[in-house]
Structure 1
Amino acid sequence: MNKAKRLCAITCLAVVATWLTPVQAQPSAAQTAVEAAKQYSGSTINVVWPAGVGALGQKIFAAPLFEQLTGVKVNIVEAPPTDVYIKVVAEHRAGTGGFDVVSLVPSWLTDLSIAGIIEPLDALVDKYGFAAELQGIEPAYRNNWMTHGGKIMAIPDDGDVLLLFYRKDLFNDPANKEAFKAKYGYELAVPTTWEQFSDIGWFFTNTYQPDLYGASVIHRSGLMQYFFQERFRNAGGRFFDLDSMDAQINDEIGVKVATQLQDEAEFMPPGSENWNPVEVLTAWLSGRVAMITWWPPPGRWSEGYGTDNEALKWVPESQIKGKVGYALSPGGNPELALGWSLAVSSNSRNKELAYLYIQWVNSEEISLQRVQLPYSLRDPFRASHFESAEYRSRWENADEYLDVLRQGAQIGMLDLSIRNTFQYEEALARAMQRLMAGEDPQEVMNEAAENWDKVTRRTGVDKQRAAYEEWAAKPNAYPQ
């Protein structure tokens, strides 16, 4: 028996053992889902999932375990993360019923709901008693990622948030602290503004280059637009003028943020304006940069947690164990960037079974196991995840890591989610690429705004205004 199968078998026995414990008065959501799914034993459901490392959490752990418990086969259909939306929409239009469970980025929720691509879940949540456990999801995710038009359309599956990781040893070095204060007139500490981030980045680059540079961020792979969304709103920006629905990303605030992003590349490693996420991660783990802004995984990989697993052999060995601090992104409110949720395809021929899998995989007990899998790329999103004594003991300062993640979840901002969100994101991503190529920030943002206005007009100004008003009214849309 190979390692993955042994892990699944052991986990299966452990899960069943907990269910047989007599102290539990009522069946858990996981138990309920498993018992109900047994009537479908021998059936197969198809789950579309972003390809890559993150899919291993399904292929190695969740899908085999569900099959052992219920007799239901879970077929994971992988697609590149950037293609999942296109694949889901294409399948719906073709009407093949090829997907039962849909993975979606929460910013797509409006589009997929309006188009009828995903199924309302309220009746099934009530039928299988999942409502109580849903209350354990952190409010920012529960109140913003689940519903459209007052109906439950998706269940959160991943608590993404942008964080700042920094080298505590460099920040605490007495010589660095003295030299920084002498030059900038204030104490060297974790930056709370982007101006401080720039000062600190330049300081470390000027002090240590070429062995170490001040920072690095992800400039490619279409991800930089999330950093713009975060910084633009923290600086006071609004995406649209509500009366005209004209894009505002090219106003004074938008151009200032774009200029900052472009200028910061100057103190980053040479060539890093073209780096993809793995290259940024490699520079960080090898000790070549003092700060990065990223999604949560580098926090655990920096300490070597799980990187001995065969699935993570591509992650470089950490040279910075015990030297890493965690903080919210400068600016105040971090972006709840990307993230993933699960929904039932309206074309599915196995809707109830598809829902039962979603309930099981995101129940209190199963989701807690999943977010601790080193290779799952699923981050905490429930109170029980952040408070877990087991998780908080995984490495020496795991408690600090989870506390910062939870703080980010509580005050984080949502990605823009309106009609045709994908088209707005693509236009902004193209603008960020031009920005990193050295083009004029004002011209870049002007063209991006023009492209946004074209999408708005194609969509219909009044329809888009209604969608934007609904989104902007959410407590996590803009800083409070």
Structure 2
Amino acid sequence: MKSLHLVVFVLFILLFTACDDKKKNSNEILKYKNKTIVIIAPNFDKAITGPIRKEIKEFEDRTGAKVRVVSPSWDDMIGKIKESFTDKKINYDVFVVFSSWGGSLLGNGHAAEIPEWVKKEIEWDDILPIYKNQVLSWNKKYYFLPYDGDCINLYYRKDIFENEEYKKRFKNEYGYDLDIPKTWAEYKDIAKFFNGWDWDNDGKIEYGFAESRKKGYGTMFEFFARAAAYAKYPDKKEFYFDSNMNPKINNPAFLKALTEYINIMKYAPPQVTNFEPADVRQSFIGGDVAMILDWADAGAMAQNSKESIVKNKVGYAKLPGSNSVYNSYTKNWDVRYNNPSSISGNWVIVVNKDAVNKELAFKFAAYMTSKKMTSKYVPIGSSGINPSRYSHLQTTNLELWERNDFSKESAKEYLDVISKSLSNKNSVVDIRIPGADLYYATFNKYLNKAIKKEITPKEALDLTAKKWNEITKKLGLEEQIKLYKESLNE
């Protein structure tokens, strides 16, 4: 009899909950029916904007609202955003942006602070502190919603590294054990060792490593990931500039990093100067290289891309570090191991402070950045959505990862390494102040010239520093200093 009562009680609760959800949806439809929001997001096929396009219909059905997506090309995105600041005919309710573009929104007063009801809806406490404190906040207030949490890590051919014959040969040649590189010097040795011979016995020549070297954000961010080991002092937040907006970009640490960054290219595929991040991933999952640097996309694609021949053969590791770090305050190299994380390239969702339908805009932003939605996409390499939450990194239940072609062992190793990178208190983030696009475009130009050996590394960095000073002066030195400190939450 007690069992019957229990069954009846459970059925009543389920019926009540279903009715309550139905009533809630009906109320939302009445509230938002015939209202429209406009979203600006980059014109990508699958990554970042792809999931948004897939999920719009469910949101429209749930709310009765209409969602329109404007998708400029990558190159046109920041220009279109800035154009909307001055043209009253253009009103984007929601911005899907690179975190480095966030400064333009905030500096011009166009970002709405996240309300408490939105934080509750997206389960704010589940978001990792490194993102809350360094990506989502500005002047200790929150304006950015976490869509894609990025960090750059090392991916390597675990099966090749564990080959006993290769381990013996490596030790004979270099005098230490072949293992995950702890420093960039070891990374170079391993790249050199595996370069130019058929180490997987497929009848083709393989190479030591691949990284992005084509002009663009991917190449810049991977350079900064390397430079961090030498130039990001552990006890300081500043990296690109000092607290007075004096560029650090041409100091000895960045020069050392750029010199190495160019010299190591001899151990990559011959076409590496044309490699973007997508090409780097393809070279790795196609079995052409022993190591790559990339965002979390590569680890997922190695397991669930139809083109991958390295499934369950991949090792995951934090970025290499350095046994010394440059102290730009004392102008000396300090002998101490330095191993910062790089969390550059995050995608965030921002609601326009002047949105016509601001509550609906926040509703959509919360829908796309929710725990449920992002968890659906993080195991899928092509989605461009990487872990940003505690729940994304939990390893007690790996069913979702297994459904996306990870083995339990691979999923656990992958998530453990990302977790270690994202728990690092010493990290490098994007330039986030107004003018970030101008600072990056300048460095992009001279970095590319150095990669092509049209100018020396020193010339590239000196020219960058000079132009950065000019940009800062044009935008207003005092204002940039103020905004820079706010972006660092100081």
TM-score by length of 1: 0.84
Residue of 54, 57, 66 corresponding to 1:64: 57
Tell me, in whole angstroms, the C-alpha distance in 2 between the residues paired with 1:295 and 1:34.
41
Matches within 5 A, 1:142-161: 142-161=132-151
C-alpha distance after superposition, 1:415-439 (max 9, x if no partner): 1222311111111111221121013
Moved more, 321-330 or 200-209: 200-209
1:80 corresponds to? 73
Tell me, in whole angstroms, the C-alpha distance in 2 between the residues paired with 1:445 and 1:425.
12
Contact 2:300/2:379, CA 8 A, preserved across alignment = no
Runs (4+) of structure 1 moved beyond 6 Å? 31-34
Structure 1 residues 23 and 297: CA distance shift in structure 2, 3 A: farther
The residue type equivalent to 2:449 in the other structure is R
1:420 corresponds to? 435
Matches within 5 A, 1:81-230: 81-121=74-114, 125-127=115-117, 130=120, 133-208=123-198, 211-222=205-216, 223-230=218-225
Contact 2:350/2:365, CA 8 A, preserved across alignment = yes
TM-superposed CA distance for 1:37, in Å, is 6.1
Tell me, in whole angstroms, the C-alpha distance in 1 between the residues paired with 2:164 and 2:477.
57
The count of residues paired between Structure 1 and Structure 2 equals 437
Moved more, 262-271 or 356-365: 356-365
Ranges in structure 2 where 5+ consecutive residues have no aligned partner: 1-12, 233-238, 322-338
Tell me, in whole angstroms, the C-alpha distance in 2 between the residues paired with 1:163 and 1:461.
35
Structure 1 residues 357 and 38: CA distance shift in structure 2, 3 A: farther
The residue type equivalent to 1:118 in the other structure is A
Structure 1 residues 203 and 90: CA distance shift in structure 2, 3 A: same
Contact 1:393/1:399, CA 8 A, preserved across alignment = no
The residue type equivalent to 2:252 in the other structure is E
Tell me, in whole angstroms, the C-alpha distance in 2 between the residues paired with 1:372 and 1:279.
20
Tell me, in whole angstroms, the C-alpha distance in 1 between the residues paired with 2:195 and 2:445.
28
> SS in structure 2 opposite 1:239?
coil
Structure 1 residues 413 and 290: CA distance shift in structure 2, 3 A: same
Q: Percent identity?
A: 27
TM-superposed CA distance for 1:370, in Å, is 3.2
The residue type equivalent to 2:229 in the other structure is N
TM-superposed CA distance for 1:445, in Å, is 1.0
Tell me, in whole angstroms, the C-alpha distance in 2 between the residues paired with 1:267 and 1:76.
43
The residue type equivalent to 1:378 in the other structure is I
1:270 corresponds to? 270
The answer to whether 1:42 aligns with 2:34 is yes
Structure 1 residues 188 and 374: CA distance shift in structure 2, 3 A: closer
Tell me, in whole angstroms, the C-alpha distance in 2 between the residues paired with 1:450 and 1:49.
33
C-alpha distance after superposition, 1:166-207 (max 9, x if no partner): 001110111111111111111101112111110000000154
Tell me, in whole angstroms, the C-alpha distance in 1 between the residues paired with 2:230 and 2:272.
25
Contact 1:418/1:467, CA 8 A, preserved across alignment = yes
Contact 1:161/1:295, CA 8 A, preserved across alignment = yes
Tell me, in whole angstroms, the C-alpha distance in 1 between the residues paired with 2:205 and 2:104.
47
C-alpha distance after superposition, 1:277-300 (max 9, x if no partner): 332222212111101101111211
C-alpha distance after superposition, 1:118-175 (max 9, x if no partner): 2223xxx224562781111011111222222343212111011111110011101111
Tell me, in whole angstroms, the C-alpha distance in 2 between the residues paired with 1:21 and 1:167.
49
Structure 1 residues 132 and 356: CA distance shift in structure 2, 3 A: closer
1:458 corresponds to? 474
The residue type equivalent to 1:94 in the other structure is D
Tell me, in whole angstroms, the C-alpha distance in 1 between the residues paired with 2:134 and 2:27.
30
Tell me, in whole angstroms, the C-alpha distance in 1 between the residues paired with 2:182 and 2:358.
46
1:431 corresponds to? 446
1:365 corresponds to? 372
Tell me, in whole angstroms, the C-alpha distance in 1 between the residues paired with 2:197 and 2:488.
43
Contact 2:107/2:483, CA 8 A, preserved across alignment = no
Structure 1 residues 206 and 127: CA distance shift in structure 2, 3 A: closer
1:407 corresponds to? 420
Structure 1 residues 92 and 466: CA distance shift in structure 2, 3 A: closer
Tell me, in whole angstroms, the C-alpha distance in 2 between the residues paired with 1:273 and 1:163.
20
**Larger Rg, first or second structure (1 or 2):** 2
TM-superposed CA distance for 1:224, in Å, is 1.4
> SS in structure 2 opposite 1:205?
coil
> SS in structure 2 opposite 1:290?
strand
Tell me, in whole angstroms, the C-alpha distance in 1 between the residues paired with 2:27 and 2:96.
24
The answer to whether 1:448 aligns with 2:464 is yes
Contact 1:100/1:348, CA 8 A, preserved across alignment = yes
Tell me, in whole angstroms, the C-alpha distance in 2 between the residues paired with 1:279 and 1:108.
25
2:483 corresponds to? 467
C-alpha distance after superposition, 1:228-263 (max 9, x if no partner): 2222232135422435x3212111111111100000
Ranges in structure 1 where 5+ consecutive residues have no aligned partner: 1-19, 309-316, 475-480
> SS in structure 1 opposite 2:180?
coil
TM-superposed CA distance for 1:50, in Å, is 1.8
Structure 1 residues 37 and 233: CA distance shift in structure 2, 3 A: farther
Residue of 299, 309, 314 corresponding to 1:324: 314
Structure 1 residues 118 and 97: CA distance shift in structure 2, 3 A: farther
RMSD: 2.6
Contact 2:138/2:488, CA 8 A, preserved across alignment = no
Moved more, 340-349 or 191-200: 340-349
C-alpha distance after superposition, 1:2-48 (max 9, x if no partner): xxxxxxxxxxxxxxxxxx85898xx99xx989964651123222111
